[in-house]
Amino acid sequence: MAGENEYLRIDFGGAAFLLLRRASLAVEQRENLLVNEGGGAVSAWRAAGKDRWPAFCLDRNLRLVSGGGWQCAVFLQLDPYPVGLVADEVQLLPRSEVRVEPFTPPGIAPTRKGHLFSGASVGGGQVLFEFDPNVLAAFLYRLEAPQ
């Protein structure tokens, strides 16, 4: 099936990560988002009918930071509403350009849903971690109302 194993390369905070393309609900450019100038955890919202979907800005260590010069946001499906991750750049990688191997991060999982990464791609002296979309979505959702 077309796009079944294609990946998005998501660059932010000086690092890059992978996400299965089919796990992405939408990629929206900054000019189509409502940028939050008022502070708080949310960097921007995407209007969706009566709802609005929050997007968050993370650094390379996946810590919440204030939004900077990001260009777009990747949204993931989640109940009760989708959540997003802002990025400097999002690229679609053809299947031939990426080979993702399974990867289990050591140590205690940083979220209740488990580890944020389920795979990684190794090549060109670089390791790109692949997000587990369900865990990433839950992780982002909790950023809006940290416990």
Partner 1 sequence: MSSPTVQPLHALEIPTQALSLLVPSACVAEVVSHCALAALPLGPEWVLGVMGWRSKPVSVISLETVMGRVAGLPDRLSDPDTGPRRRGTRKIVVFYPLPGRKPWEFFGIVTCAEPQSHVVDSAALAGAVDTPNSGIIAMTVQLGNSVMAIPDMGALAAVLYP
Residue 39: beta bridge partners? Answer: none
95 touches partner 1 by CB under 8 A: no
129 touches partner 1 by CB under 8 A: yes
62 touches partner 1 by CB under 8 A: yes
Nearer to partner 1, 55 or 135 (CB): 135
- 74 vs 127: CA distance, rounded Å: 21
Strands in 72-76's sheet, in edge-to-edge order, are 24-29, 72-76, 83-87, 51-56, 42-48, 34-35
**Applying CB under 8 A, which part among 19-27, 31-39, 78-86, 97-105 lies near partner 1?**
97-105
- 17 vs 111: CA distance, rounded Å: 18
Nearer to partner 1, 68 or 110 (CB): 110
Residue 75: beta bridge partners? Answer: 26, 84
> Residue from 116, 137, 138, 140 that binds partner 1 (CB under 8 A)?
116
> Residue from 95, 99, 112, 144 that binds partner 1 (CB under 8 A)?
99
Closest to 43 (Cα-Cα) out of 60, 12, 27, 64: 64
61 touches partner 1 by CB under 8 A: yes
Binding site for partner 1 (CB under 8 A): 15, 60-62, 99, 101-108, 110, 116, 119-120, 122-123, 125-127, 129
